[in-house]
């Protein structure tokens, strides 16, 4: 019997594109796998590609940004991404998220606690698309 999709027809992401920015390749791949199980398409930055160049190339609807990644975790990047209509979600461990709480609040970004629970990840992605 084939696996039934987790999404209902009304809440399906319709192949929304999610960009994951992280220097931790393993963690990004694991997070990407979870995002794909929810029905989203996932892309990653290329080696040595800046976060801004990656957003221009990929044109994602949602960008998951590792809050411990100093390259992509900059206010200038966040401002330009949101101007392009990209919903930004900052993710990390509780300690790391505590350090960037002010940035998340200033930009009205959702945060995602790592490792994510599937329901929490789904809720964050649905809010980002809405």
Per residue in 52-67, pLDDT tens? 999 999 999 999 999 9
- 10 Å CB burial of residue 88 (0-12, 13-18, 19+) is buried
CA distance 79 to 121: 23
Q: What is the per-residue pLDDT for 71? A: 66
69 confidence band (pLDDT: 50, 70, 90): confident
Topology classification of domain 17-129:
Rossmann fold (3.40.50)
Domain ranges of the chain: 17-129
pLDDT at 122 over 90: yes
9 confidence band (pLDDT: 50, 70, 90): very low
Q: Which two tokens stand for residue 31?
A: 């997070």
* Mean pLDDT value of segment 10-17: 65
CB-based contacts of 113: which residues, under 8 Å, 6+ apart? 91, 92, 93, 94, 97, 120
Q: What is the per-residue pLDDT for 70? A: 72
Query: pTM for the whole thing?
Result: 0.86
């Amino acid at each position: 019997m084939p696996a039934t999709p987790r999404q209902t027809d009304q809440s399906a992401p319709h192949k929304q594109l999610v960009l994951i920015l992280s220097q931790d390749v393993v963690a990004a791949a694991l997070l990407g796998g979870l995002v794909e199980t929810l029905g989203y398409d996932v892309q990653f930055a290329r080696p040595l590609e800046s976060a801004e160049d990656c957003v221009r190339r990929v044109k994602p609807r949602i960008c998951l940004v590792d809050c411990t990644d100093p390259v992509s975790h900059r206010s200038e990047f966040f401002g330009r991404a949101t101007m392009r209509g990209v919903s930004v979600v900052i993710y990390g461990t509780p300690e790391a998220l505590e350090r960037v709480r002010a940035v998340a609040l200033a930009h009205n970004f959702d945060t995602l606690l790592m490792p994510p629970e599937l329901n929490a990840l789904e809720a964050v992605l649905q809010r980002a698309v809405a």
